[in-house]
Structure 1
Amino acid sequence: MYLFLVIVILLICLLLTLVVLAQNPKGGGLSSQFGAGGAANLMGVKRTGDLLEKLTWGFAVGLIILSLATHIIGGGAGPVRSVNQQAAQRAVVPTAPAAPASAPAAPAGQPSTIPVPAPQPAK
């Protein structure tokens, strides 16, 4: 369901882009290049502008509603993590096993095997 909504959102984005580019602003716009020039002469400029404006608003509202629907379906209530945080969590390298808690003590009467550094003369 989530994938279907994402595909519909992409389709609406494409259609919204085409409708916005086809509109006839004050300077002329791209509508004549996409073949809307003939439709404007056939239906009248006012009616074509109304249709394109209604389509623009419809696609925009549909895009907002579908975006909210994907947020609800996708489990938007959970913790929000960025892509970087997700990648960092996957890249966590396991640490080496910890050393034993304590080394066995030397038997009584034997010197310790741990070397002790010699004192440095003062300068």
Structure 2
Amino acid sequence: VEKGGKPSELAPIDVLVTTADPTKEPPLTTANTVLSILAVDYPVDKIACYVFDNGAAMLTFEALAETSEFARKWVPFCKKFNIEPRALEWYFARKVDYLRDKLSSSFVCEGTSCNKGSFTTWD
């Protein structure tokens, strides 16, 4: 559903992410890929992300479980403050001041969890 209550005319899409061996394909890479898909600017009821792990690695499973929890905070945060790029790896790796002209007290408080004083908890 788009803004204004109209149904979205965008087609539903399924995105498949494959992985097999965490020693050759680091789970962080898979996690960043999934997080980027979840953060895409597309109606949430029109996109699905599936991970096929042929290696059934516990390390990959645990990394994706953490990614899922983090996405619950990161995706709304990106949408609220118009964060681009939404891929964490790209966002933090570049030497660009993404906050220029975007810095507000609500951004700082939400991004740093000023209630608890800890950036890592995002509560």
Which band: TM-score by shorter chain? under 0.3
Give the strand-richer structure, 1 or 2: 2
TM-score by length of 1: 0.23
Larger Rg: 1
Structure with higher helix content: 1
- TM-score normalised by length of structure 2: 0.23
